[in-house]
A and B are shown apart, each in its own frame.
Chain A
């Protein structure tokens, strides 16, 4: 009995928080738009019984998915989101790895404090933190004022509302998700391996590439997925920091939903986004599983 409850709980969780919402979205994606409340048709009428259910099923079709393939906007937006997510993940790795490395090499009594500092930003609202970047990056913002003061530039740089600002926002926001798994991997690493490598005539740089990087591989992979997956569907950062040339699927989804009031097409876009995301999520799962098996 206890065993059954233990096994059922995660499945119930999955059913209530993932499968049911997904089926609702899928159902809307097969409907047609209408000027009504709610703005699509057909809606399921429970009073009509079995016949009503059959009529309902009969009115569903794949029209919205065919529509998506007729306009290149959607594919461009998906591709552009993947590209932005890939570049942002690489940048986050480049910034995050040295930080995680430094933390793992720091004296032991320092590590808890360093860890706290990485997590600390989560104590304020994500939205307010992204919003404050607008104040830093704007034409009259702190960054430009500082650079003008140092004399490095003579004209304010335009950073806000460009793709650069979007990358800064993503790297800043998701950095802890990169640092923590890498730090966890590096901290577990046996330091004597590096000593052994040096004894055997390996330079420190070569030892880093041959030993440290491979041993932190799982941390790197976990960190990259944790950054990549949410970044693809990111909406808030590109809308606040990005200009209109930053094309991301989150924004397209918003426009379908709010500007066109076309819930069915918006839902179709969301279903495809989910299908695209399932691939990295499965890869991530598999990596986690392998790691668990390796840890025995």
Chain B
């Protein structure tokens, strides 16, 4: 949140200045890159890089639809990308400026094509799942050794949540992911656009709501790592980063991530170039730099997310490529689901429902 607001202010200030051709402005998710790569980019290309961060698709989308964001590269997730493409927010990529395109991974490209046909507007940066991170020590202390840490039961079954409340549970503040998760838990189609089906989610949240301490999409990384909370429903790599930070701090906190066995959402963060980007040339240079196998691998090794670059896999460290929480087996991949964007009317129902779930009104 702090970063988010700082960035928002920084962006307002930036908007006032006109961009120069030597500058590339990138707007990416918070905690989402190895910052050495940013320096490397400046050294290799001689371009100056302005790198800002956000922590919600909604913030990015509002900037894109407002127009004149001043950014050259932005990173929306699949469903948001699809809607923004239809709003005319992006320009088509020029493959002749992207020689590294042949390094991309067809398995991922096939999936991202449902949002961006032919991948004409975007390249995949990272992909991951939305699942559950736990502080293993505290959760087994409260729920016993057989705590269902690999199931949505852990956070949607009121009996478990009553016990977990005392050590702190955070949920993502992302209705487009938390509503499909609850639908999956009750055996409905997670991608349902039927308001009557979506309404059932309210009953899933009602009995556990009081035990959810906060809905937030970036605070949980530190909170989990410090031991302030013991369960977070969040994004795979973020939770693995929390695990890493706890290891480094050596504070006795052991974090584990699981994509729930009932089925978890798989999402794709795509790099795209806004239609009014001040420096599209520089944006292509940046995309091509990111698609370099070693650079992409460096990013994944740092953020613990899988990427859509086949060639990068030989440079990935074992911790990343061998970890099924990051690169799931083919069988586990079949258990993951994707969603499609809500139409405006349904979106309003979803947001209203989400507000009701969060605030009780």
- Among A239, A255, A261, contact of B1 (Cβ-Cβ < 8 Å): A239
B window 80-127: CB within 8 A of A: 83, 86-89
Q: With A36-B87, A37-B67, A37-B89 known to touch, is A247 a contact of B348 (CB < 8 Å)? A: no
In the complex, what residue of chain B is closest to A72 when comparing beta carbons? B361
Q: Do B214 and A38 touch across chains, with their CB atoms under 8 A apart?
A: no
Q: Do A36 and B65 touch across chains, with their CB atoms under 8 A apart?
A: yes
Q: How far is the CA of A161 from the CA of B355 in the complex (A)?
A: 16
Q: How far is the CA of A157 from the CA of B227 in the complex (A)?
A: 14
In the complex, what residue of chain A is closest to B276 when comparing beta carbons? A37
Q: How far is the CA of A261 from the CA of B215 in the complex (A)?
A: 20
Q: With A127-B5, A140-B228 known to touch, is A76 a contact of B344 (CB < 8 Å)? A: no
Q: Do B354 and A139 touch across chains, with their CB atoms under 8 A apart?
A: no
Q: Do B83 and A35 touch across chains, with their CB atoms under 8 A apart?
A: yes
- Among A239, A240, A246, A258, contact of B62 (Cβ-Cβ < 8 Å): A258
Q: Specify which chain A residues have a CB less than 8 angstroms from the CB of B214 in the assembled complex.
A: 161, 243-244
Q: How far is the CA of A236 from the CA of B360 in the complex (A)?
A: 21
Min C-beta distance of A78 to chain B, whole Å: 12
- Among B64, B83, B89, B359, contact of A247 (Cβ-Cβ < 8 Å): B359
Q: Do A138 and B2 touch across chains, with their CB atoms under 8 A apart?
A: no
Q: Specify which chain B residues have a CB less than 8 angstroms from the CB of A246 in the assembled complex.
A: 359
In the complex, what residue of chain A is closest to B165 when comparing beta carbons? A158
Q: With A38-B67, A140-B226 known to touch, is A259 a contact of B58 (CB < 8 Å)? A: yes
Q: Specify which chain B residues have a CB less than 8 angstroms from the CB of A73 in the assembled complex.
A: 352, 355-356, 361
Q: Do B351 and A260 touch across chains, with their CB atoms under 8 A apart?
A: yes
In the complex, what residue of chain B is closest to A35 when comparing beta carbons? B87
Q: How far is the CA of A236 from the CA of B66 in the complex (A)?
A: 22
Q: With A73-B361, A161-B213 known to touch, is A258 a contact of B65 (CB < 8 Å)? A: no
Number of interface residues of B (CB under 8 A): 42
Q: Do A261 and B67 touch across chains, with their CB atoms under 8 A apart?
A: no
Q: With A33-B344, A236-B5, A260-B347 known to touch, is A245 a contact of B360 (CB < 8 Å)? A: yes
Q: Specify which chain A residues have a CB less than 8 angstroms from the CB of B61 in the assembled complex.
A: 258, 261
- Is A252 on the interface with B (CB-CB < 8 A)? yes
B window 1-53: CB within 8 A of A: 1-2, 5-6
In the complex, what residue of chain B is closest to A244 when comparing beta carbons? B358
Q: How far is the CA of A73 from the CA of B360 in the complex (A)?
A: 10
Q: How far is the CA of A210 from the CA of B313 in the complex (A)?
A: 80
Min C-beta distance of B347 to chain A, whole Å: 6
Q: How far is the CA of A138 from the CA of B168 in the complex (A)?
A: 11
Q: Do B58 and A37 touch across chains, with their CB atoms under 8 A apart?
A: no
Contact mask for chain A residues 25-45; partner B; CB cutoff 8 A; 1 contact, 0 none? 000000001011111000000
Min C-beta distance of B229 to chain A, whole Å: 8
Q: Do B352 and A37 touch across chains, with their CB atoms under 8 A apart?
A: no
Min C-beta distance of A3 to chain B, whole Å: 34
- Is A172 on the interface with B (CB-CB < 8 A)? no
Q: Specify which chain A residues have a CB less than 8 angstroms from the CB of B158 in the assembled complex.
A: none
Q: How far is the CA of A76 from the CA of B361 in the complex (A)?
A: 8
Chain A facing B: main interface SS: loop
Q: How far is the CA of A260 from the CA of B351 in the complex (A)?
A: 6
Q: How far is the CA of A257 from the CA of B61 in the complex (A)?
A: 10
Min C-beta distance of B250 to chain A, whole Å: 15
- Is A71 on the interface with B (CB-CB < 8 A)? yes
- Is A131 on the interface with B (CB-CB < 8 A)? yes
In the complex, what residue of chain A is closest to B212 when comparing beta carbons? A244
Contact mask for chain B residues 263-280; partner A; CB cutoff 8 A; 1 contact, 0 none? 000000000000100000
Contact mask for chain B residues 323-361; partner A; CB cutoff 8 A; 1 contact, 0 none? 000000000000000000000100110011011101111
Q: How far is the CA of A2 from the CA of B352 in the complex (A)?
A: 55
Q: Do A139 and B65 touch across chains, with their CB atoms under 8 A apart?
A: no
In the complex, what residue of chain A is closest to B251 when comparing beta carbons? A140
- Among B65, B83, B347, B355, contact of A37 (Cβ-Cβ < 8 Å): B65
- Is B317 on the interface with A (CB-CB < 8 A)? no
Q: Do B87 and A37 touch across chains, with their CB atoms under 8 A apart?
A: yes
- Among A128, A139, A244, contact of B168 (Cβ-Cβ < 8 Å): A139
In the complex, what residue of chain A is closest to B68 when comparing beta carbons? A37
Q: Specify which chain A residues have a CB less than 8 angstroms from the CB of B64 in the assembled complex.
A: 37
Q: Specify which chain B residues have a CB less than 8 angstroms from the CB of A37 in the assembled complex.
A: 64-67, 87-89, 275
Q: How far is the CA of A33 from the CA of B87 in the complex (A)?
A: 12
Q: How far is the CA of A244 from the CA of B89 in the complex (A)?
A: 32
Q: How far is the CA of A71 from the CA of B355 in the complex (A)?
A: 12
Min C-beta distance of B87 to chain A, whole Å: 5
Q: Do A259 and B228 touch across chains, with their CB atoms under 8 A apart?
A: no
Q: Specify which chain A residues have a CB less than 8 angstroms from the CB of B83 in the assembled complex.
A: 35
Q: Specify which chain B residues have a CB less than 8 angstroms from the CB of A158 in the assembled complex.
A: 168, 213
| Chain A residues close to B by CB (< 8 Å) | 33, 35-39, 71-73, 76-77, 127-128, 131, 138-140, 158, 161, 236, 239-240, 243-247, 252, 255, 257-262
10 smallest A-B Cβ distances: which pairs? A258-B58, A244-B358, A39-B65, A37-B67, A259-B351, A247-B359, A131-B2, A139-B228, A260-B351, A161-B214
15 contacts between A and B (CB under 8 A): A37-B67, A73-B355, A138-B228, A139-B228, A140-B226, A161-B214, A236-B5, A240-B1, A243-B214, A247-B361, A252-B355, A255-B355, A259-B354, A260-B351, A261-B58
List 16 additional contacts besides A158-B168, A258-B58; criterion CB under 8 Å.
A37-B67, A39-B65, A71-B352, A72-B361, A73-B356, A138-B223, A138-B226, A139-B228, A140-B227, A140-B228, A240-B2, A258-B62, A259-B175, A261-B58, A261-B344, A261-B347
